[in-house]
Amino acid sequence: MAKLKITQTGSPIRRAPIQKQNLIGLGLNKMHRVRELEDTPSVRGMIRVVNHLVKVEEIA
């Protein structure tokens, strides 16, 4: 299964609670943290909510 490398680039300060919760769900809650997660529809949905706060790269 494909993997995604997700890096947090934006701060969760002054963001909607749902955006903060999605960052925590992705394993990101501080700037410049990086996580590798499997590419699933649920992860893609969480990324879509916080796409302005993260950078996503596909890993082969």
Domain boundaries, the chain: 3-59
Cβ contact 30:8 at 8 Å: yes
pLDDT digits (tens, 9 = 90+) for 11-37: 999 999 999 999 999 999 999 999 999
- Higher-confidence position of 1 and 19: 19
CATH topology for 3-59 is Ribosomal Protein L30; Chain: A, (3.30.1390)
Q: Considering the entire predicted model, what is its pTM?
A: 0.91
Residue 1 has pLDDT above 90, yes or no: no
pLDDT, mean over the chain: 97
pLDDT band, very low/low/confident/very high, at 60 (cuts 50, 70, 90): confident
Calculate what percentage of the chain has a pLDDT beyond 90.
Answer: 97
Cα(first)–Cα(last) distance of the chain, in Å?
A: 9
